[in-house]
């Protein structure tokens, strides 16, 4: 027997909603552009596990509240980790679980990229199965810009989508791409005027919900097998390398410079 339709769990930093057999997960920290603090990092793993096991949905939409998808890591949280690097060590298993649990959702996961998708925000959007981006959206993984290794999934998904050398260019520079360029190089599937984003996402979800469920899910499982193998192979060493840079003076200097600049603005 399926779960009751009104049983979606409640979170502090996320909102889960149903519309028919569509489940929408909304990152809900709009005051900080849906940046990831420790709590949202933990809760999103729980939300993905719920979506994976949910019997009342056939498609999942991932999006952000307000004017951003997700700005990535919470810079103030980074400052706390910088002072106590053991906090990052405690989150490493959680960081790997985040990506692997997302990959284990057999139903299609759609990224509705309504604004900036940066760092971990970009990684989550790109690990979704099909992505729709507003023209105003920006996408990038600037880990190196704050002195960190891109170890939380970017080094897995960017090469898988756009090829190794092109991914190196963007991950080694931390460049932020506009949505048009992201679509041109195959990083996202579709770019639309902001006013047309919802209609495009809705239309695609309707096609999935009305499709052949076992065939769609089986095809996704097959397509994701190699990607999951790569994630399993690369996430652990990637997070170890990132943990090393969390402890670096370069990272400290860059975070302090960012915080000082933010205080002045």
The answer to whether residue 48 sits within a structural domain is yes
State both tokens at 221.
């499982």
pLDDT given at position 236 = 94
- Measured between alpha carbons, how far is 118 from 102 in angstroms, rounded to an integer? 18
- Measured between alpha carbons, how far is 250 from 46 in angstroms, rounded to an integer? 33
SS3 track for 21-54: CEEEEEECCHHHCCCECHHHHHHHHHHHHHHHHC
pLDDT given at position 59 = 98
DSSP letter, residue 9: P
The answer to whether residue 2 sits within a structural domain is no
pLDDT given at position 6 = 59
- Measured between alpha carbons, how far is 234 from 34 in angstroms, rounded to an integer? 26
- Measured between alpha carbons, how far is 255 from 148 in angstroms, rounded to an integer? 10
Mean pLDDT by groups of 10 residues along the chain of 265 residues: 64 97 98 92 96 98 98 82 79 91 98 98 98 98 96 97 98 98 98 98 98 98 97 96 93 86 74
How many domains are there within the chain?
1
pLDDT given at position 89 = 79
pLDDT given at position 255 = 86
The answer to whether residue 219 sits within a structural domain is yes
State both tokens at 219.
């095809």
Pair 183, 138: CB distance under 8 Å: no
- Measured between alpha carbons, how far is 170 from 165 in angstroms, rounded to an integer? 9
Domain that residue 246 falls in? 14-264
DSSP letter, residue 70: B
pLDDT given at position 118 = 98
The answer to whether residue 4 sits within a structural domain is no
The answer to whether residue 61 sits within a structural domain is yes
Residue bearing tokens 């309504």:
114
The answer to whether residue 185 sits within a structural domain is yes
Measured from the Cβ of residue 14, the count of other Cβ atoms closer than 10 Å reads 20
The answer to whether residue 5 sits within a structural domain is no
The angle formed by the CA atoms of residues 225, 115 and 56, to the nearest 5 degrees, is 50
The answer to whether residue 125 sits within a structural domain is yes
State both tokens at 104.
């284990």
**CATH value at residue 131:** 3.90.226.10
Pair 49, 25: CB distance under 8 Å: no
């Amino acid at each position: 027997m399926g779960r009751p339709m009104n049983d979606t769990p409640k979170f502090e930093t996320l909102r889960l909603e149903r519309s028919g057999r569509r489940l929408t997960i909304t990152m809900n920290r709009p005051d900080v552009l849906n940046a990831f603090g420790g709590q949202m990092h933990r809760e999103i793993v729980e939300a993905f596990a719920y979506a994976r096991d949910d019997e009342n949905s056939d498609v999942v939409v991932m999006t952000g509240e307000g004017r951003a998808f997700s700005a990535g890591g919470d810079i103030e949280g980074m400052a706390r980790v910088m002072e106590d690097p053991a906090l990052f060590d405690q989150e490493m298993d959680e960081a790997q679980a985040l990506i692997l649990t997302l990959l284990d959702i057999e139903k299609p996961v759609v990224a509705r990229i309504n604004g900036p998708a940066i760092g971990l925000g970009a990684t989550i959007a790109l690990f979704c199965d099909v992505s729709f981006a507003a023209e105003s959206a920006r996408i990038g993984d600037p880990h190196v810009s704050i002195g960190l290794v891109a170890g939380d999934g970017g080094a897995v998904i960017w090469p898988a989508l756009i090829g190794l050398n092109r991914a190196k260019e963007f991950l080694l520079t931390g460049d932020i791409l506009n949505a048009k360029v992201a679509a041109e190089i195959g990083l996202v599937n579709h770019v639309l005027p902001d006013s047309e984003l919802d209609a495009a996402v809705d239309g695609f979800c309707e096609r999935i919900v009305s499709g052949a469920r076992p065939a769609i899910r089986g095809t996704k499982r097959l397509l994701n097998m190699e990607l999951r193998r790569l994630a399993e192979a690369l996430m652990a060493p990637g997070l170890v390398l990132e943990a090393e840079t969390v402890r670096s003076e370069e990272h400290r200097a860059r975070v302090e410079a960012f915080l000082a600049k933010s205080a002045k603005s």
